[in-house]
Copies of this chain bind each other. A is one copy, B any other.
Amino acid sequence: DRGTRVVDLAADVRLRDPEVYQRWYGGPHPDPGLLQEAVYGLPELHREEIRRARLVSGVGCNAAAAILALAPLARAGVVSEARIEARVGSSEGGSRATEGSHHPYRSRALRMFEPFAHRHLAEVSQETGLPEDRLTLGVTAVESVRGVQAVATVTLAEPVREGDLWKTYRAAYGSEPFVFLCPARPSHLRLPDPRLVMGSNRALVGFALHPDGRRLTAVAAIDNLLKGASGTAVQAANLLLGCPETAGLEMRPVYPA
């Protein structure tokens, strides 16, 4: 250790609690001190800590999307329960060919994997503060190469007003360079489609509240190869190095594509 500052792209230091790490990753962490020291590398939640950090973690792509959808609600203390489904493109599986990525099987898939306990759930719980037993996280493979759409089916603790939710989300993201709120209308653009951010480091966040004020759907869409991984890592590195936060990340979405 000679003082080198690191943004880690792997999953090794995303979790703070060694016990949680062991439970989700199947063994003890080889250097638990790093877990205590590292900062979770999502600038929208930890901007100031990242600036000062020596060790910044990468983010899980599904986790990043789910956290962006849920964190404002969770901080507002209104979430009773959330069941999250991350719909993902084939690039999420990595660059190595597998039976699961074989085109005849993967094309146009709507393949739901274990629907409750994807490993990224640990990150979502840690970063939103919602206890694990009030969260589920499943992953569904859909037809696309890039993109994650995290859909949170939320039950609120008590009825809320839509206007208050708008305030909550605007307060969270109004000055973020890469997070955009979806408009209330037209209705088919209210909940974001990952196509709309493809090729960019942007996240789109939207929500819809049931008239009963207690049932809510919150959605975030990102390009998993940018905001879901290396894009956010570059953003974190910019902060850590004192560069402009958006440097190298100003690509606009390519749409329609």
Contact = CB atoms under 8 A, between A and B. Distances in A.
A70 to B, nearest CB: 16
A254 B110 contact: no
Contacts of A95: 102, 104
A119 B115 CA distance: 27
Contacts of A105: 256
A98 B98 CA distance: 8
A113 B195 contact: no
Contact of A97 (B98, B143, B215, B217): B98
A227 interface: no
Given A102-B101, A145-B107, A83 B153 contact: yes
A101 to B, nearest CB: 5
Interface in A178-236: 187-188, 190-191, 193-195, 198-199, 208, 210-212, 215, 217, 219, 221
B215 A116 contact: yes
A8 to B, nearest CB: 24
Interface residues of A, number: 63
A143 B101 contact: no
Nearest to A100: B188
Nearest to A102: B97
Nearest to A217: B115
Nearest to A114: B187
Given A101-B102, A112-B151, 17 more contacts: A90-B102, A95-B102, A97-B97, A97-B98, A101-B101, A103-B103, A103-B107, A108-B144, A109-B195, A110-B149, A111-B188, A112-B188, A112-B219, A115-B191, A116-B211, A143-B144, A198-B254
9 contacts: A91-B104, A107-B145, A110-B221, A112-B191, A115-B217, A138-B217, A142-B142, A198-B257, A254-B254
Interface of A: 83, 85, 87, 89-91, 93, 95-116, 133, 136, 138, 142-147, 149, 151, 153, 187-188, 190-191, 193-195, 198-199, 208, 210-212, 215, 217, 219, 221, 251-252, 254, 256-257
